[in-house]
Structure 1
Amino acid sequence: MTFFTRHRRKFALAFGFIFGFAAVSAFAFSAFKTRLLDFQARKAADQTSRELIRRKFDQNQTDADITAAALVGPATEPVLAKLPVERVTAELQANQSVKTKKELWSELKMTTVARAVSVVYVLSVLVFFTRLQLNLLGRENYIQSVKDMIDTDGDVDMQDITDETNRRFLTFSWWLLSHGHDKIIHLVNEATQSTFSSLTPKTELTFDTLEDLMSQVHDKIDIKTHILSIVLPSEDEEYVVLTANPTERELDQETEAKIKKRVRVLLDEAKDLTESPDGAFVIDRLISEGSRMLLSNLYQSLYSVDAESVKLASILAGIARQAHEMVITKYNNQYLSGMNSIPELNTFSAIVYSLR
Structure 2
Amino acid sequence: MIAATRRWFRRNRTPLAIGFGVVGAGYLVTHYVLSKISDARERMSSDRIARENLRRRFEQNQEDCTFTVLALLPSATDNILAELETERITFELQQQKAAKLARNGENHPSELGSGPPSMTDDDSKSMASLQSESGIHASQIAVPSVSIISEGAQDGKQQSQKAKRSKLQLWNDLKISAITRAFTLIYTLALLTLLTRIQLNLLGRRSYLSSVVSLATGGMEQSTISLENHDDDNPDQAYGNDFETNRRYLTFSWWLLHRGWREVMLKVEAAVNDVFSTLSPREDVTMQMFSELTLEVRKRVEGATEADRQATSWLEFLLPPRDQEEFVLKESGMSTDPSTPSTALPSTNPLRRLVDETSDLIESPPFSHVLTRLLDAGFSTLVDQKIAQQAFKIPATPDVPELEAPRVMEVFDPKPVKLPIVLAILTRQAHSIGNGVPNEYLQSMEQVKDLEAFAAVVYSSNWESEISPINSGGSASFVQQDGPLGPEIVAAGSNQASYEAGPGQESIVDIGTTSTFESAWGKAVESTEKV
User: Structure 2 length as normaliser, TM-score?
Assistant: 0.60
Report the CA distance between 1:246 and its aligned residue: 4.4
In structure 2, give the amino acid aligned to 1:300: Q
2:245 to 165, 168, 174: 165
Matched residue, 1:217:
297
Select the structure of larger CA radius of gyration: 2
Residue 42 in 1 paired to residue 43 in 2? yes
Residue 206 in 1 paired to residue 286 in 2? yes
Residue 129 in 1 paired to residue 192 in 2? no
Cα distance in 1 for partners of 2:60, 2:235 equals 31
Cα distance in 2 for partners of 1:246, 1:327 equals 24
Cα distance in 1 for partners of 2:336, 2:13 equals 85
Residue 342 in 1 paired to residue 448 in 2? yes
Residue 101 in 1 paired to residue 207 in 2? no
User: Structure 1 length as normaliser, TM-score?
Assistant: 0.88
Give the 3 Å change call, closer, same or farther, for CA 229–61 of structure 1 in structure 2. Answer: same
Residue 53 in 1 paired to residue 86 in 2? no
| Aligned partners of 2:190 and 2:445 also within 8 Å | yes
| Aligned partners of 2:235 and 2:241 also within 8 Å | no
Matched residue, 1:254:
none
Gapped regions of structure 1 (runs ≥ 5):
251-256
Give the 3 Å change call, closer, same or farther, for CA 119–37 of structure 1 in structure 2. Answer: same
Matched residue, 1:264:
352
Give the 3 Å change call, closer, same or farther, for CA 78–8 of structure 1 in structure 2. Answer: same
- Give SS of 1:308's match: coil
- Give SS of 1:303's match: coil
| Aligned partners of 1:164 and 1:259 also within 8 Å | no
Report the CA distance between 1:8 and its aligned residue: 8.3
Report the CA distance between 1:19 and its aligned residue: 2.9
Give the 3 Å change call, closer, same or farther, for CA 133–143 of structure 1 in structure 2. Answer: same
Matched residue, 2:263:
183
Report the CA distance between 1:156 and its aligned residue: 6.2
Matched residue, 1:234:
321
1:142 to 195, 202, 208: 208
Matched residue, 2:439:
333
Gapped regions of structure 2 (runs ≥ 5):
1-5, 100-161, 219-233, 303-308, 338-344, 395-411, 464-531
Give the 3 Å change call, closer, same or farther, for CA 161–249 of structure 1 in structure 2. Answer: farther
| Aligned partners of 2:378 and 2:445 also within 8 Å | yes
Moved more, 156-165 or 126-135: 156-165
Cα distance in 1 for partners of 2:191, 2:419 equals 29
Cα distance in 1 for partners of 2:35, 2:29 equals 10
- Give SS of 1:172's match: helix
Deviations 1:44-80 (A, max 9, x none): 1111111111111111111110010011110221111
Give the 3 Å change call, closer, same or farther, for CA 347–155 of structure 1 in structure 2. Answer: closer
Cα distance in 2 for partners of 1:155, 1:168 equals 18
Give the 3 Å change call, closer, same or farther, for CA 39–156 of structure 1 in structure 2. Answer: closer
Report the CA distance between 1:13 and its aligned residue: 4.3
| Aligned partners of 1:161 and 1:258 also within 8 Å | no
Give the 3 Å change call, closer, same or farther, for CA 64–259 of structure 1 in structure 2. Answer: farther
Cα distance in 2 for partners of 1:37, 1:248 equals 55
Q: Calculate percent identity across the aligned residue pairs.
A: 34
Cα distance in 1 for partners of 2:419, 2:44 equals 64
Residue 194 in 1 paired to residue 274 in 2? yes
Give the 3 Å change call, closer, same or farther, for CA 160–131 of structure 1 in structure 2. Answer: closer
Report the CA distance between 1:147 and its aligned residue: 1.9
Cα distance in 1 for partners of 2:50, 2:237 equals 25
Report the CA distance between 1:304 and its aligned residue: 2.8
Report the CA distance between 1:159 and its aligned residue: 8.1
Matched residue, 2:68:
67
The structure carrying a bigger helix percent of its residues is 1
In structure 2, give the amino acid aligned to 1:326: I
2:427 to 309, 320, 337: 320
Give the 3 Å change call, closer, same or farther, for CA 160–33 of structure 1 in structure 2. Answer: closer
In structure 1, give the amino acid aligned to 2:34: K
Report the RMSD for the aligned CA atoms in angstroms: 2.8
In structure 2, give the amino acid aligned to 1:207: M
